[in-house]
Structure 1
């Protein structure tokens, strides 16, 4: 059985249940449940959508445009919250292990995207020695167009401020907005070939369906990579 990202995230939640103060845990659980209950799924990016031109900022410096990403074929974007997000520090190394080798073998770019400013976002790439690309979505411009943004609720804002910081200070964006975990596969013609949005940031897309969708898009047989 291949490694499961959602099992790793469930383990994170179980650890919090065992170690966090109940009131603190409840704020986290309530925010995630509210996002699920109030999700505007009709606004989420969907298969068949066409993505207009966009530009991301690479954490190492320089930019990455839509057309550069699609120069040789499809590309995969994984939206995550910010470099210090505990769940993101589980998810990105997982994608590095379970997704990057297969996509690299197929010549398909894999880019992890967050609104956090590049100089702060770079730490998640260096911390885990990621080969996959990490890039900033300036001012959440692409995330907003994809309909995947959310804002902290009042209880979560108060909890963050009680710790001495707002998420806008952490990300450098100055706002309380973050993207919901999302995977988008963009075909070479800039249409969306696969889209999966999770309002609950402790539930995320496994690697296998992404690989299958890319292989189907390319019309290729599965690629076997030794991990």
Structure 2
């Protein structure tokens, strides 16, 4: 069994502990309340499932190149990591974790790995540059693919008002007038745009661990080992 330097969840537990020390009780309660509400609603939320065939979609690179889903799966399966936005603290933990634990295994297996967010460039590319990510970070224009997958959520009133009070604009997050983001999601797509695995994380502080993704790909014995 492969071992990793630390699980993704242990990294989130450290972030939660730091927030309990530094955030106001009101801010912490609001953050937890929205996440809990999304978890409760998830079972009634419609989304694509394994075996579904996606319609064609186009994603964008930072320099404007267009990448279709068919491009990604032209030689076999691909892994898409959907995340919220470049400044999201939890996303800045998840993507480096996948860079460390998942990317080397997929590269050795010639399986494309891309991260996807609806946030427009150039701000979106800052998460790649800041974390020196070894995989592309792509834009899902106006949440088109995310909405097709059924993985988006709307800010509750507390989160929306907090964002606006800090000068935030929905257009800066997703290119639309809607306060809407993708839930963190792992999608394994096969040729023909067939979904072979999808794992949606309505609580963005609990996301898919690398061993789960490798198992979905039949690569569970190829994990990258790290010293504890």
Specify if TM > 0.5: yes
Q: 1:40: how far off?
A: 4.8
1:39 counterpart SS class:
helix
2:218 counterpart SS class:
helix
Question: For residues 223 and 206 of structure 2, what CA distance do their matches in structure 1 show?
Answer: 26
Question: Which of 41, 49, 66 pairs up with 1:63?
Answer: 66
Cα RMSD (Å) of the superposition? 1.7
Aligned partner of 1:194 in structure 2 is 197
Is the contact between residue 60 and residue 122 of structure 1 (CA under 8 Å) also seen in structure 2? no
Question: For residues 198 and 44 of structure 2, what CA distance do their matches in structure 1 show?
Answer: 12
Q: 1:225: how far off?
A: 4.2
Aligned partner of 1:161 in structure 2 is 164
Q: 1:165: how far off?
A: 1.7
Question: Which of 172, 181, 186 pairs up with 1:183?
Answer: 186
Q: 1:34: how far off?
A: 1.1
Question: Which of 203, 211, 216 pairs up with 1:213?
Answer: 216
Aligned partner of 1:78 in structure 2 is 81
Is the contact between residue 70 and residue 187 of structure 1 (CA under 8 Å) also seen in structure 2? yes
Q: 1:189: how far off?
A: 2.8
- Residues 187-196 or 37-46, more deviating: 37-46
Is the contact between residue 117 and residue 173 of structure 1 (CA under 8 Å) also seen in structure 2? no
Question: For residues 113 and 148 of structure 1, what CA distance do their matches in structure 2 show?
Answer: 12
Q: 1:67: how far off?
A: 1.1
What TM-score comes out, normalization by structure 2 length?
Answer: 0.92
Is the contact between residue 142 and residue 174 of structure 2 (CA under 8 Å) also seen in structure 1? no
What is the 5 A alignment of 1:15-164?
Answer: 15-164=18-167
Q: Which runs of 5+ in 2 are unaligned?
A: none
Question: Which of 14, 17, 23 pairs up with 2:17?
Answer: 14
- Residues 31-40 or 14-23, more deviating: 31-40
Question: For residues 26 and 45 of structure 2, what CA distance do their matches in structure 1 show?
Answer: 33
1:205 counterpart SS class:
coil
Question: For residues 35 and 170 of structure 2, what CA distance do their matches in structure 1 show?
Answer: 16
C-alpha deviations, 1:71-122, integer Å up to 9, x for none? 1100000100000000000000000000000001100000100000121101
Q: How many residues align?
A: 223
Q: Which runs of 5+ in 1 are unaligned?
A: none
Question: For residues 51 and 119 of structure 2, what CA distance do their matches in structure 1 show?
Answer: 28
Shift of the 225–11 alpha-carbon distance from structure 1 to 2, 3 Å rule, reads closer
